[in-house]
Structure 1
């Protein structure tokens, strides 16, 4: 009982500590936690973006590359903007919002041109005429009187000027919204002449997250201590014919907030209620980009557009041309014109399909975290880790499902990931204590051997830790060496991280094949792997198992090369096939723990190991994927072997070796096509040994038989290289 009580106390103390840290971290909401939450919402939006109204009530008059090519470089004379506004008005546009800041007089106005002409005597007759013409800004102001036009201004942290009184009447309820919305000391405003003719002015500032992705758009800003609307809010208001916007902040709903200032809650234009974040921003429920939103500006100027595309619609004038630098990242695209984000915001407001992060969302997530965390902790202590895992997984599934349904059905943003991670932390803490109490010996063995010893040996050692000692035993084993061909050339130009990913991607499936075939991975050596069979667990068919693994590894390389070729082709990149050579050898070796009492490996030692390594190197010389020694062929008689050299002189070995190419498994070995190729190959070798007069005919017959084998059995290994080696000798 005395021992149990401290364990019980420690269990719940650690659990309470983990939960307290998780809650504190969520309240502080550091950047990594916020980014994690936002990435979940981005994923949801990619899975189910807003369905755009097929009539597209908002259209964009786009200053695109085609318009710049036809009209000329930007900026255009504002007389051109005046023509666009007039034609939009004549076509029945509901409202026009110009997503540009027209803060300075047009330098292309007649008076400005007259001042430039004064320095040239030959132009004196036209100076007076130019000076008498109305300015381009006057033309634009005149055009703006024909329909509601909204101009943009920019909040500026480098200025400290008072903002002009907004055209909209902003009625507030509750706390002062200026306390919460984005604040700027001053602003860059449109020309007074243009502002006087405009139906409204709105801020065009963007406030992306720290990852520079735009997920929301402000509806209100404070500039020069004046509360002002943004461009999208004014575009909506003028299009609806309203004069007033109602802003409700904390304390303005008649519900007690317990002294807490929770920020802006809603903005209302007429009957349209817009839910906001605490700082007065609208979460954007993006739809996919669609070219039907756009009208090229030059089609408006040359009159080739269809008036029905403009009639009764909200129109935005903005730029998508790359050189004008109005591009933003969104959850759905890495680069979107800023004017489209404004257009989508207005579409969303008209449709009422909003995303909402309710004020109580954070509190609800914390409450769920605490309740589920306590439940998992109690389950670990009373019922064990498995029952707790079931409860924890059920809780995670519930919060994930609830979060998705809240998003997909109601547009509510609830974070499932952070509560789930906190539950994982609670579960791991409790499980760790249980693990330490009940499995100390097994943990010690697995920590020592789990990263380099085969699973069967690991289980044996876990059951009998006394085997953790130096020493070994003699045993027949089949060894496999596999090496990447041309690794230096393949890795040229790769940085360290890319090279590691390349090697891991290559050796992960190859290792799985070895382990699935009851093999033991001895070690990885850069671009090579060494494995052996028949130890630590006896396997009477170890040679056949090694041959099957070698064939499976080559088949896996074919699959990886096909995937790489398809991916590179899609990306327009060249493809260099990755090839491996495999050497097999069977012989007596000493198998056991090798090293020192403090650090040792389970490995094999013996001459057969060296021979297997040299056989693998010989695959390059003979041009075949898999080579095997004579003993391996004897112990795997059913496989498709061909003798490639009866007196091979391996590097560093005095005794010659018989080498055999492995072409396939038992099914291929029994096929008529393989038997025919084997006969042709034997005849070709005999001809090469006797004289060279009939070599060409026999080589032609041999190639035909090899082609027939490859056609009938695509799984057969490629043996073209061995024919070349027979004709020219090994590729020394």
Structure 2
């Protein structure tokens, strides 16, 4: 009975703690919640976007045809004229024209002739200046119930970057292109309007949707703290005028048409006629790439496409009311109390899994219907409550303690995790000195190769190569420290001891060479370029452990002269036209096995000595040739 009373008190305390956490919203929990939100997008998968939105892409083909970026404005004028000839409905430009240029008048005339061009503006939030009587105020939305903004102030700015005045006077409207990433750098929210001295300036996406739908200015309304009206169409927002962006998919979900194809008349009229055209950069070199829930590098212009599509189709995602989350925290914890006090520990785990699965499944279902139910506080309360209950029972019953161990042993299967559990000091700043064998691998002539191929082909080739090499490294139980561009760093004998670490490293190197040869044969048949690698191996003492800034960023890695020597040996392969070079320290430990043919068909050749920084004596090096 005493244990049950303590469980009840602990459960009530946990419920109060998680209610406070939900109110405070600490950054670590919020980031976890954001990642769960992102995961739901991937589970849902790509959705079919509307066909009336097309991205006129400043892509690699356009840059090759029209020259390096930025283009002179006569080229933009030519593009807008071409789009007008195709009969497009709206042209939204995701390019800032804030500085004058000799062809401004030519571009202004094209914008004026088109009559449907929306230009972007950018707001600043640190600078403050006198209000500008600029044309952007004509694009402002009217406000209903403005007194509500006394409680929830919308995003506001007193400084704005606008297009050149000659261009502004020709535009059909304006919209801001400010993006507000969350603390982890991911763009999940769209700010539909920004307050500029009492004028509510819409986002580029919102203004584009309003023009496409033919909504007159007097029916473009903001219902303060609640939503936005586009005629009879209502878009609910949070109190600050934000919406969660219901992304349709990752890169390329919306249709891209190269600007080079448009200006060269290689596009059929039906592909552009009566459609929304977004002009923006997709080429990697222009760096207009954003992190989103479904992509780590989505062109900013495609983010706008997602928002426009959702506004036109009436799709949205909004968080549920705070009161609902509070109610769920309380109900879930008290339901768990009721069940846990009647069940043994093993069954409590089943209850926990059922309850947490119910929370996640319900949240995902609501997500697909346009509502986001935060799961971290509800499920976190359930998990902590479960752990607390089990811990209390452990303190009072050896039998329950054995059962707890049996339950949790099924969760910890990886060797590294087991080692960290046994030795918590390994997770602290710093580390320990240990003899390790280090392997460095690098692709020969990669810079030249990457200059000859399209970035997509380079990434495709590297991904296949790295996947194969990683498989071999893990086969020989190496610790994959990092990928450094096209190079790989691996070490053995940490975090777990390996008595045969030198042997594993050489076996790994030999198999990497053989696998690459097989890959090259396959690539040759596919008409792909060949790769050559050099590998350096050294054995010696190094500092091993979590190295970095505690609480900021830490990496499990190794440092020391022996690591530097392995890296240098890898670089010498080019000089000696070799594939594998090992140091005398590694060779001495493997000499007997090499001489007995343990490593199969290989040849060993002494290459001489090299001077090494930090060592008085030169180091002998050996070339390993794989037959």
TM-score by length of 2: 0.64
The equivalent residue for 2:499 is: 528
Is residue 324 of structure 1 aligned with residue 286 of structure 2?
yes
CA distance in 2, matches of 1:428, 1:221: 45
Q: 1:624 to 1:298 in 2, by over 3 A?
A: closer
The equivalent residue for 1:180 is: 153
CA distance in 1, matches of 2:476, 2:330: 40
Q: 1:619 to 1:214 in 2, by over 3 A?
A: same
The equivalent residue for 2:448 is: none
After TM superposition, list the pairs within 5 Å mapping 1:37-48 onto structure 2: 37-48=33-44
SS in 1 for 2:215: coil
Decide which of 212, 227, 231 is 1:270's aligned counterpart: 231
The equivalent residue for 1:313 is: 275
Ranked by relative contact order (alpha carbons within 8 Å, sequence separation 6 or more), the top structure is 2
Question: What is the CA RMSD across the aligned residues, in angstroms?
Answer: 4.1
Decide which of 348, 351, 357 is 1:388's aligned counterpart: 348
SS in 2 for 1:101: coil
The equivalent residue for 1:419 is: 378
Q: C-alpha displacement at 1:339, in angstroms?
A: 0.9
TM-score by length of 1: 0.55
* Equivalent residues, number: 455
The equivalent residue for 1:628 is: none
Cα pair 1:202 1:232 within 8 Å, conserved: yes
The equivalent residue for 1:344 is: 306
The equivalent residue for 2:259 is: 297
Q: C-alpha displacement at 1:180, in angstroms?
A: 3.5
CA distance in 2, matches of 1:332, 1:420: 24
CA distance in 2, matches of 1:445, 1:92: 70
The equivalent residue for 1:367 is: 327
For 1:380-404, what per-residue CA distance to the aligned partner results, in whole angstroms no more than 9, with x for missing partners? 3343323433332221121122122
Q: C-alpha displacement at 1:11, in angstroms?
A: 2.8
Q: 1:431 to 1:147 in 2, by over 3 A?
A: same
CA distance in 2, matches of 1:489, 1:51: 46
Q: 1:34 to 1:143 in 2, by over 3 A?
A: same
Cα pair 1:37 1:417 within 8 Å, conserved: yes
Cα pair 2:227 2:237 within 8 Å, conserved: yes
SS in 2 for 1:383: coil
SS in 2 for 1:242: coil
For 1:175-226, what per-residue CA distance to the aligned partner results, in whole angstroms no more than 9, with x for missing partners? 4458433222211112233222222111111111111111222211123443
The equivalent residue for 1:162 is: 131
The equivalent residue for 2:427 is: none
Decide which of 364, 367, 390 is 1:431's aligned counterpart: 390
Cα pair 1:277 1:283 within 8 Å, conserved: no
Give structure 1 stretches of 5+ with no counterpart.
110-135, 250-263, 451-485, 494-498, 509-523, 530-553, 579-615, 626-717, 722-732
Q: 1:575 to 1:348 in 2, by over 3 A?
A: farther
Q: C-alpha displacement at 1:440, in angstroms?
A: 8.3
Q: 1:573 to 1:329 in 2, by over 3 A?
A: farther
The equivalent residue for 1:148 is: 116
Cα pair 2:394 2:401 within 8 Å, conserved: no
The equivalent residue for 2:105 is: 137
Q: C-alpha displacement at 1:443, in angstroms?
A: 6.8
For 1:562-609, what per-residue CA distance to the aligned partner results, in whole angstroms no more than 9, with x for missing partners? 9x969x969989699x9xxxxxxxxxxxxxxxxxxxxxxxxxxxxxxx
Q: 1:296 to 1:492 in 2, by over 3 A?
A: closer
Q: 1:159 to 1:86 in 2, by over 3 A?
A: farther
The equivalent residue for 1:599 is: none
For 1:604-663, what per-residue CA distance to the aligned partner results, in whole angstroms no more than 9, with x for missing partners? xxxxxxxxxxxx9999378588xxxxxxxxxxxxxxxxxxxxxxxxxxxxxxxxxxxxxx
For 1:546-573, what per-residue CA distance to the aligned partner results, in whole angstroms no more than 9, with x for missing partners? xxxxxxxx9xx99xx89x969x969989
Larger Rg: 1
The equivalent residue for 2:437 is: 488
Decide which of 237, 246, 266 is 1:285's aligned counterpart: 246
Is residue 400 of structure 1 aligned with residue 397 of structure 2?
no
Is residue 247 of structure 1 aligned with residue 207 of structure 2?
no
Q: 1:40 to 1:489 in 2, by over 3 A?
A: closer
Q: C-alpha displacement at 1:305, in angstroms?
A: 2.8
The equivalent residue for 2:179 is: 206
Q: C-alpha displacement at 1:69, in angstroms?
A: 2.4
Q: C-alpha displacement at 1:50, in angstroms?
A: 4.5
